Amino acid sequence: MRKPCKVTLNKETFLANCGDVLLDRAIMSGVEIPHDCRSGACGTCRVRLVKGKVYGGTEHASDLIYACQARVVSDIEIVAEPMPDSVSVSARVAGLTRLSPDVIGVRLEVDRPLQYLAGQYCKVQFRGFPARCYSPTYPLEGSPNKRQLHFHIRILPNGAVSSALGNSIQVGHRVRLTGPFGTAFLRPKHAGRTVLVASGTGFAPMWSVAVAAITENPRRKLLFAVVARKLRSFYMHAALCRLALFPNVTIIPIVSEPQNVSPVFRSGRPTDHLPALLRSDVIYTAGAPAMTEAVARLAKAAGAKCYTDPFEANTAATSNLMVRMAGWFDRPLINFARRPSASAAVAKQPLQSIEL
């Protein structure tokens, strides 16, 4: 008979047998741990190990563990951050907008508001198509509407879903949303600098985090590095100009292909051009795993907290996670000059009130 172990989650206690998978035992005991893919890819089930030991499911030199992979081998205490409950809502396609040659903006009108934290994602299933994971984001222009959700989807030539947008999937198409999921959401009331790094459509969740951070504190120190493969794919410029109006914001726009259109854009990887990270920083990054992992390593070396949203490929190994549409846009970076008219007075305005 295996030795029983006591598991304490946010002061709620249940028993597990030595060797049990933490998430499985929690579910069997009626204890809620947010989860999604159950394969250790999405990070939704990450909890903080306060006391005790587990086998597997750990992040190197970190106290974060994946409940779906970690096995209980002693009495443990763990802490999970509160998040909105996952629900399913119906929606319809209300608008399709070509943002760049390889990115389309999708606006969904939901039957009832979906509660989520800035930076989280949800499963989106267009009727007749497989589900995919996309991040709802703040509008690139104008103000938000609680009954509408905005998504940025990269068009793949053979994509089962993305290639159907504007063809089989038109305005009025019915959609089912499930979520929210993910742990790369904004941690409010942070006194230090906020550092955001996004590649491709990883911009969507990071744009949500940026807006939420500035809305909370218009004088927040914020650095935002954004990478696109080609200059014509850099669809974020208008949004970043709005953000650059705030006094303590630094923008680092990046394109991978060589270009001589503007000296604003640099070449290289985000990790080549990020300033030295500080222990007091909180870093958020979304995009391809190669980039998010590189940023996480820099954060770890600095002793800073880092929350990642790697956009995994839709392979058999990650079929439950579905797909996060983005690529590793690996060359380039740069400092985006603020508009000369930016002022402290402007920075006091809500972001949605600024029209360019």
Residues linked to residue 153 through DSSP beta bridges, in sequence order: 104
CA of residue 235 relative to chain centroid, distance: 18
Instruction: Report the pLDDT value the prediction gives residue 112, as an integer from 0 to 100.
Output: 95
Residues linked to residue 134 through DSSP beta bridges, in sequence order: 122
Q: Where are the beta strands (DSSP E) in 23-142?
A: 46-51, 54-55, 64-66, 71-72, 76-79, 87-100, 103-110, 121-126, 132-134
- The residues, any chain, with a CB within 8 Å of residue 1's CB and separated by 6 or more, are none
Q: Pairing mode, if any, of strands 148-154 and 76-79?
A: unpaired
- The residues, any chain, with a CB within 8 Å of residue 41's CB and separated by 6 or more, are 310, 312, 317, 318, 321
How many whole angstroms separate alpha carbon 89 and alpha carbon 3?
43
DSSP per-residue letters across 85-115 = PPEEEEEEEEEEEEEETTEEEEEEEESSPPP
Q: Which class for 192: exposed (0-12), middle (13-18), buried (19 or more C-beta within 10 A)?
A: middle
Structural domains of the chain sorted by starting position, each given as residue range(s) with its CATH number in brackets: 4-79 (3.10.20.30), 87-181 (2.40.30.10), 194-349 (3.40.50.80)
Tokens 């989520």, residue located:
116
Two tokens at 243? 């953000």
Q: Average pLDDT per run of 10 along the chain, which is 356 residues long? A: 87 93 94 82 84 88 86 95 90 97 97 95 97 96 93 92 96 97 91 96 97 96 94 93 95 86 82 92 92 90 89 48 35 32 37 38
* 148, 93 Cβ separation under 8 angstroms: no
Instruction: Report the pLDDT value the prediction gives residue 85, as an integer from 0 to 100.
Output: 86
Instruction: Report the pLDDT value the prediction gives residue 64, as an integer from 0 to 100.
Output: 84
Instruction: Report the pLDDT value the prediction gives residue 315, as an integer from 0 to 100.
Output: 40
Phi, psi of 222 (to 5 degrees): -140, 130
CA torsion, ordered 286, 156, 290, 193, to nearest 10 deg: -20
Instruction: Report the pLDDT value the prediction gives residue 3, as an integer from 0 to 100.
Output: 81
Instruction: Report the pLDDT value the prediction gives residue 321, as an integer from 0 to 100.
Output: 38
Q: Is residue 301 classed as helix, strand or coil in its secondary structure?
A: helix
**Is this prediction's pTM over 0.85?**
no
